[in-house]
Amino acid sequence: MPAGAWKVYSAAMKNITDGALDLDTNTFRMVLVTSLYTPAQNTHSTWADASTFEVVAVGGYSTHGKLLTCTTTRAGAVTTFDCDDQSWTSLTITAKYALIVRDADANGALASTDLLVAYCDLETGGGSVSTTAGTLSITINASGVCTFTVN
């Protein structure tokens, strides 16, 4: 399924400009959270803000989601941050949002201080997505997770 528009957390933008978040070299994970999570784009900054809302690690989902392969490319004045699409098979879950989180230790175990990057609504018409022993695929928009443009 195509994911809704990705929204970058304000703190992520600050972390990029401060050098705390490196879109070229850091390791990132895609994590699924329930509808109990309410994204606060301008105040949430770390995994601690969302961790208690991660979907339960059963039925094909592993704690801390999946490792992402991400790239940054530049064409003229536009730099794009993009990640690979993700798919879970034999999955039994209900989820509302997908989050991109930096895995600072690159060990697959997110720490409370790992930085939130972006999130998307998996069901833009309201509600959540559910699957029972099925496949959940999240397709990143062809234009990437986000772009930065110099004027």
Q: What residue ranges do the domains of the chain occupy?
A: 7-149
pLDDT in tens, 97-136: 999 999 999 888 999 999 999 999 999 888 899 999 999 9
What does the alpha-carbon distance between residue 95 and residue 53 come to, in Å, rounded to a whole number? Answer: 10
Where does the chain have alpha helices with state H?
10-18
- 34-90 pLDDT, tens digit per residue, is 999 999 999 999 999 999 999 999 889 999 999 999 999 999 999 999 999 999 999
Residue 2 has pLDDT above 90, yes or no: no
What pLDDT sits at residue 58?
85
Query: Could you give the angle at the alpha carbon of 20 between the alpha carbons of 14 and 21, nearest 5°?
Result: 80
d(C-alpha 119, C-alpha 112), whole Å = 17
**Does 16 have pLDDT greater than 60?**
yes
**CA 112 – CA 48 distance, rounded (Å):** 4
The larger pLDDT score, comparing residue 92 to residue 142, is at: 92
How much is the pLDDT for 126? 82
Position 24 confidence tier, pLDDT thresholds 50, 70, 90: very high
Stated pTM of the model: 0.94
Phi-psi map region of 144: left, alpha, beta (phi>0 left; psi -120 to 50 alpha)? left
